[in-house]
């Protein structure tokens, strides 16, 4: 905490934007005195201490006591040094304890009426429970991220109207913080709004992320000033999300004498992300010796998942509060804290996929349920489990579409799983339909050998049937392909890729097996043979996936290095993989960009997911 005259002067200079000469003229401070203040040769006079405190909007007694202490030290007056140190200590003890609550909410992008009402309702409830300060996440009024809705003047006008509505509805005896866009002087900012005693104060986010799934510089201008407010005598700094990842931004906020920092966030999930947040906040806390409150968004938004997990940390970097993951919650930081056991990776990913699927279906508000092509294989079995856990088994319909190459095992296992899960199950034979296609195409294909064309016809007939059922019932088709298949193009356009949402799009095949085994520990619903059998698309006699692909553990290891770590072929080969295999797999990844560009959206769980995050050209001659 800055407590010397030259520090206070620097803050005045920064806040006003004035030069020393302008400060001297504006506030009638003798140039000679100002020069001594700047060099540290003199402490502020009491008059100037009160003046600077007024400019900086801080407690005048604090500035006076600090400069009196500084003067006493200059004069070597030990008794006065002790006196003013005691006064400062007493000042720091004057502040009352604050009851801070975190509202970890799940807003819907663009649903301004309901989002605003949720903020108001939770604020009124918190008021009745004696809360002093209620903290909502980043862009909690609009949802994160509204994308090009932010470019519409009508949208920003509605945001302003809802901000006013919130301000008018909040009682004077509670303060709240929430996130919303703020337009000022032709610029749009990602802002944190403080409603306190019927007045609004606004902080503009300073660090705008423009990597991974973030695109904030497309929409927002960056703020440049720290924001500090006082409640019950305590000075608190306010940040928005990426600000905390910048040490200088945090350090500048702390310089204004704050005891704690509140950060509102819309931090997307990927495996290991929460530990990264904890590590980063711990660094900021230890660097600055301040407490920290971290409020995060929760919910699925298209391909992005917000996992919640809001928390508080004291000035010794000890976790003092932790909210749950993947669910809405409102919690007071004064409640007792009992550390929970760490969840397994499988549980974390599964919960993320269920939330993403649930929110995509329910937030869109147009789907009556789900349709899934159940093949008897591991991918569709896991997708069926996710769908039922997301929206309820009564809203899920499973369709088995056997053909000549469908095994009895697949038929038995698909029917058994649907029965165990109490899911509406039907079988539709596609034999006659496929044969009709083959017959009609026989003239065009005359003299040509059968190949993947005939295999893809089976997938496309199935895709057409699923989309017809979707159309008739008003239910969304969930595609069942995984990341390993999508990476190398082991999927059929307008066939098994047909559908509106892909829960496993960012899940590797090896993780699919791990998730299926995890789900069976909760209740045994996926037949053991589905997990144990060799994977097959069953589009040709005796076909298995490894006819076309390396073993999945090898494939997924290569894909992880090439896609998520962005390593070159040479670097991957140097890790012990066969060069020919690596070259083939990497080229398949690049060649199938056109397929992925037409694929259904799916939830991001990795550090580099296909879709919104990983953007590669479809036409390219790059050799990795």
Q: How big is the chain by its Cα radius of gyration, in Å?
A: 30
d(CA 349, CA 504): 10
Instruction: Please state the φ and ψ torsions of residue 230, each to the nearest 5 degrees.
Output: -120, 135
Neighbouring C-alpha atoms within 13 Å toward the C-beta of 160: 12
User: Angle at which helices 112-128 and 153-169 pack, to 10 degrees?
Assistant: 20
Q: What distance, in Å, lies between the first and last C-alpha atoms of the chain?
A: 51
> Does residue 607 carry a catalytic annotation?
no
Q: What is the DSSP string of 584-609?
A: HHHHHHHHTHHHHHTSPP----SSS-
Q: What is the DSSP string of 134-192?
A: EE--TTTTT-S--GGGGG-HHHHHHHHHHHHHHHHHS-TT-EEEEEEEEEETTEEEEEE
Q: What is the dihedral of CA 592, 593, 595, 597, to 10 degrees?
A: 170
Neighbours of 119 (CB within 10 A): 28
**560, 583 Cβ separation under 8 angstroms:** no
Q: Is 534 exposed, middle or buried (0-12, 13-18, 19+ CB in 10 A)?
A: exposed
d(CA 231, CA 219): 32
Q: What is the DSSP string of 93-120?
A: HHSPP--EEEEE----TT-HHHHHHHHH
> Does residue 205 carry a catalytic annotation?
yes
> Does residue 241 carry a catalytic annotation?
yes
Catalytic residue among 68, 162, 205, 604: 205
Q: Is 60 exposed, middle or buried (0-12, 13-18, 19+ CB in 10 A)?
A: middle
CA angle centred on 499, ends 602 and 397, rounded to 5°: 105
Q: Is 346 exposed, middle or buried (0-12, 13-18, 19+ CB in 10 A)?
A: middle
d(CA 615, CA 521): 37
Catalytic residue among 62, 68, 70, 138: 138
Catalytic residue among 6, 162, 241, 303: 241
Q: Could you tell me whether strands 175-184 and 187-196 are parallel, antiparallel, or unpaired per DSSP bridges?
A: antiparallel
> Which residues are identified as catalytic?
138, 205, 241
């Amino acid at each position: 905490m800055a407590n010397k005259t030259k520090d206070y002067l620097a803050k005045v200079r920064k806040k006003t934007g004035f030069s020393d000469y302008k400060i001297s003229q504006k506030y009638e401070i003798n140039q000679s005195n100002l020069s001594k203040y700047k060099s540290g040769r003199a402490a502020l006079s009491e008059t100037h201490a009160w003046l600077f405190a007024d400019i900086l909007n801080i407690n005048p007694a604090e500035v006076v006591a600090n400069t009196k202490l500084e003067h006493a030290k200059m004069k070597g007056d030990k008794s006065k040094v002790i006196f003013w140190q005691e006064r400062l200590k007493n000042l720091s003890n004057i502040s009352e304890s604050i009851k801070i609550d975190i509202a970890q909410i799940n807003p819907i992008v663009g649903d301004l009426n309901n989002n605003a009402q949720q903020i108001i309702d939770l604020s009124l409830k918190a008021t009745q429970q004696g809360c002093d300060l209620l903290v909502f996440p980043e862009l909690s009024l609009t949802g994160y991220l509204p994308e090009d809705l932010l470019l519409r003047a009508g949208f920003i006008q509605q945001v302003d109207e809802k901000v006013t509505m919130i301000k008018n509805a909040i009682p004077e005896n509670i303060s709240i913080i929430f996130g919303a866009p703020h337009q000022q002087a032709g610029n749009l900012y990602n802002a944190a709004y403080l409603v306190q005693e019927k007045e609004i104060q606004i902080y503009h986010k300073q660090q705008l992320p423009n990597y991974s799934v973030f695109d904030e510089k497309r929409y927002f201008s960056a703020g440049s000033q720290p924001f500090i407010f006082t409640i019950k005598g305590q000075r608190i700094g306010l940040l928005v999300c990426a600000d905390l990842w910048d040490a200088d931004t945090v350090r500048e906020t702390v310089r204004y004498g704050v005891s704690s920092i509140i950060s509102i966030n819309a931090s997307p999930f990927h495996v290991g992300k929460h530990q990264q947040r904890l590590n980063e906040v711990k660094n900021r806390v230890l660097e600055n010796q301040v407490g920290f409150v971290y409020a995060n968004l929760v919910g699925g938004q298209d391909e992005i998942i917000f996992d919640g997990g809001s928390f508080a940390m004291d000035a010794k970097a000890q976790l003092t509060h932790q909210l749950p993951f993947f669910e809405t919650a409102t919690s007071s930081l004064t409640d007792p804290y009992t550390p929970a056991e760490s969840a397994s990776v499988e549980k974390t990913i599964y919960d993320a996929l269920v939330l993403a699927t649930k929110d995509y279906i329910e937030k869109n508000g147009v789907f009556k349920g789900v349709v899934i092509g159940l093949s008897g294989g591991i991918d569709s079995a896991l997708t069926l489990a996710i769908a039922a856990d997301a929206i309820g088994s009564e809203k899920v319909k499973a369709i088995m579409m056997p053909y000549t190459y469908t095994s009895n095992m697949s038929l038995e296992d698909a029917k058994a799983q649907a029965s165990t899960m109490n899911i509406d199950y039907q079988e539709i034979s596609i034999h006659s339909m496929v044969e009709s296609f083959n017959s009609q195409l026989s003239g065009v294909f005359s003299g040509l050998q059968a190949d993947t064309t005939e295999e893809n016809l089976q997938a496309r007939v199935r895709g057409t049937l699923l989309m017809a059922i979707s159309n008739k019932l008003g239910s969304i088709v969930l595609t069942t392909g995984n990341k390993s298949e999508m990476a190398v193009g082991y999927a059929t356009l307008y066939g098994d890729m047909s559908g509106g949402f892909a829960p496993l799009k960012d899940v590797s095949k090896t993780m699919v097996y791990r998730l299926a085994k995890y789900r069976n520990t909760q209740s045994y619903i996926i037949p053991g043979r589905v997990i144990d059998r060799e994977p097959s698309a069953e589009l040709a006699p005796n076909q298995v996936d490894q006819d076309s692909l390396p073993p999945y553990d090898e494939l997924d290891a290569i894909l992880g290095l090439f896609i998520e770590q962005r390593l070159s072929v040479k670097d991957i080969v140097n890790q012990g993989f066969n060069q020919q295999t690596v070259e083939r797999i990497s080229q398949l990844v690049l060649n199938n960009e056109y397929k992925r560009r037409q694929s259904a959206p799916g939830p991001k769980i990795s550090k580099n997911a296909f879709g919104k995050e990983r953007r590669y050209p479809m036409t390219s001659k790059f050799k990795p």
